[in-house]
Chains A and B, each alone.
Chain A
Amino acid sequence: MKRETELTLNRPIAALNFLLTLAVTFLGLLAITFLIGRVVPIDPVLAVVGDRASTETYEAVRLQMGLDDPLIVQFARYVWQVMQGDLGMSVSTGRAVSEDLGRVFPATLEMATLGIIIGVTIGVPMGVFAAARQGKWVDQVIRVIGLAGYAIPAFWLGLVGLVIFYANLRWVGGPGRIDLFLDGMVPPRSGLLLIDSAIDGNWEAFRSALSHIILPATILGFFALAYIARMTRSFMLEQLSQEFITTARVKGVPERLILWRHAFRPIWIQLITVIGLSYAGLLEGSVMIETVFSWPGIGNYLTTALLNADMNAVLGATLVIGAVFVGINKGSDALYRLLDPRARA
Chain B
Amino acid sequence: MSLLSVENLRVTFPSDQGPVEVVRGLSFELGRERLGIVGESGSGKSMTGRAVMGLIAAPGQVTADKLAFDGTDLRDMSESALRKLRGARMSMILQDPKFSLNPVIRIGAQIEEAMAVHGALTRSQRCARMLDALDAVRIDDPARVARLYPHEVSGGMGQRVMIAMMVVMEPALMIADEPTSALDVSVRGQVLDILDDLVKRRGMGLMLISHDLNMVARWCDRILVMYQGAIVEEIAAGQLYAATHPYTRGLVASLPRIDESRDRLPVLDRTAL
Contact = CB atoms under 8 A, between A and B. Distances in A.
Interface in B87-104: 87-88, 91-92, 94-96, 99-104
A246 B97 CA distance: 12
B interface, how many residues as a size bin?
20 to 34
A246 B102 contact: no
B53 interface: yes
B85 interface: yes
A261 B112 CA distance: 14
Contact of B103 (A244, A249, A250): A244
B226 to A, nearest CB: 21
A261 B102 CA distance: 10
B94 A247 contact: yes
Nearest to B91: A250
Given A249-B86, A252-B85, A252-B118, A242 B99 contact: yes
B265 interface: no
Contacts of B162: 247
B100 A247 contact: yes
Contacts of A249: 55, 86
Contacts of A345: 149, 151-152
A253 B53 CA distance: 13
B131 interface: no
A51 to B, nearest CB: 65
B102 A248 contact: yes
A251 B102 contact: no
Contacts of B166: 250-251
B113 interface: yes
A289 B86 CA distance: 53
A266 B102 contact: yes
A38 interface: no
Contact of A266 (B85, B103, B118, B165): B103
Contacts of B206: none
A250 B53 contact: yes
Q: Which residue, of B53, B114, B166, has the highest number of chain A Cβ atoms within 10 A?
A: B114
A65 to B, nearest CB: 56
A342 B86 CA distance: 29
B83 interface: yes
Given A252-B86, A253-B113, A243 B96 contact: yes
B128 interface: no
User: Top 8 closest A-B pairs, CB basis?
Assistant: A252-B87, A243-B99, A251-B87, A252-B86, A243-B100, A251-B114, A244-B102, A341-B149
21 contacts: A242-B99, A243-B94, A247-B101, A247-B162, A247-B165, A248-B102, A248-B113, A249-B86, A250-B55, A250-B94, A250-B166, A251-B113, A251-B114, A252-B83, A252-B85, A252-B87, A252-B114, A253-B83, A254-B83, A261-B105, A266-B103
Given A250-B91, A251-B114, A340-B104, 9 more contacts: A247-B100, A247-B165, A249-B86, A250-B86, A252-B87, A257-B117, A262-B105, A341-B151, A345-B151
